[in-house]
Amino acid sequence: MTAYDALFRHAFTRVEPEKAHHLGFRAVRAAAPVSSRLALPGGPVRAMGLAFPNVLGLAAGFDKNAVGVDGLAGLGFGHVEVGTVTGRPQPGNPQPRLFRLPADGAVVNRMGFNNDGAAVVSQRLAAWRSRRHRHTPVLGVNIGKTKVVPEDDQAAVEDDYRLSTRLLAPYADYLVVNVSSPNTPGLRSLQSVERLGPLLDAVRAEADATTARRVPLLVKIAPDLADEDVLAVADLAKQLGLDGITATNTTISREGLTSSPAEVEAIGAGGLSGRPLTARAEQVMRLLRDRVGPDLTLVGVGGITTVDDARARLAAGATLLQGYSAFVYEGPLWPRRILRGVASG
Ligand SMILES: Cc1cc2nc3c(=O)[nH]c(=O)nc-3n(C[C@H](O)[C@H](O)[C@H](O)COP(=O)(O)O)c2cc1C
């Protein structure tokens, strides 16, 4: 462990998690003029018609409002997925809503899509696109449902995702339809193929009506789907001509944790991420790859912590990788460490 890492870990594990996130993210942004001069590690990956500078990206939820893409790219991430952005701005759930379980290398969050909304993020991305960048990472935009839109009103849900698509597709290298966060009531019911098919069709049509370029479209799924439902999404993706699947989001399960049941209970509801997710996320990846064949892009996310985890996820069929929780625990050198390890394998 380097001195930088030690400082990072000790300083940031003593601070309240959401505050630590803001402090850490501020430092990452402040370092952008310097960090963005460093060479990007790892070899390029072509996927969905895009040239990714390397295999590892930052998962959605870290930069929900697209305020720090350059600083994050400076740490080595070849792609940054901003969002989740919702059609309308919303405050998210009351704090505290972000928790660590250090004994498990895990995070629990019930942020609830706190974000500035599609219109503000769209303007921010327009400004970002108009600036010059030393390394331009691939920019993914992850979109989700505004909380006040009733989840059982399919037309209203489609309108909400369409609004985000119209505003954000022009600036996105790829779009992800998030139907898998556990923190927006009813959101995950949109994963059923009867609802997901029409929703993805609506987003596809809106993106095509907005931009001449064909913006690649992915869907992000939960690890809590039954295997047969994972396979149903895989079949749907092929049938609809989707560009990819991102697997997985956080889990509502609390099984197999070493943290005390009292500590886990005290945290309450939310999505669990990090090490406890590694095995299931890898299994979902394998199921998907076996079903979709070699061509569809699959983005592997969930519990990727070590170089071995990263290699195993690629071996299970991932085209690209993402991480969030391990970055929180291991600090700013984590992406380069993983990329160096994967490249040397
Ligand atoms: C604090 C926090 C906020 C998150 N917010 C989002 C989000 O807004 N949208 C989304 O699709 N996933 C979100 N995620 C899920 C991550 O993108 C990722 O799928 C999940 O954490 C598993 O990866 P990990 O084990 O590397 O953290 C969030 C995760 C965390 C820890």
Closest residue to atom 28 of ligand 1, CA basis: 61
pLDDT tens digits along 68-81: 999 999 999 999 99
pLDDT tens digits along 193-236: 888 999 999 999 999 999 999 999 999 999 999 999 999 999 99
Predicted pLDDT at 51: 96
Distance between Cα 160 and ligand 1 center (Å): 21
Q: Which amino acid is at 245?
A: I
- pLDDT(4) > 60: no
**Could you tell which of 62, 115, 191, 250 is best to mutate to test the pocket of ligand 1, judged by most ligand atoms within 8 Å of the CB?**
250
In the structure encoding, which two tokens stand for residue 252, read together? 């509502």
Distance between Cα 203 and ligand 1 center (Å): 22
* Segment 232-246 mean pLDDT: 96
Closest residue to atom 24 of ligand 1, CA basis: 302
Predicted pLDDT at 20: 87
DSSP letter string over 110-179? Answer: -----B--HHHHHHHHHHHHHS--SS--EEEEEEE--TTS-TT-HHHHHHHHHHHHHHHGGG-SEEEEE-
pLDDT tens digits along 9-45: 666 677 889 998 989 899 889 888 888 777 777 899 9
Q: Which of 122, 164, 180, 181 is catalytic?
A: 181
122 catalytically annotated: no
Identify the structural domains of the chain with CATH numbers, from first to last.
3-343 (3.20.20.70)
* Ligand 1 atom, smallest distance to 273 CA: 25
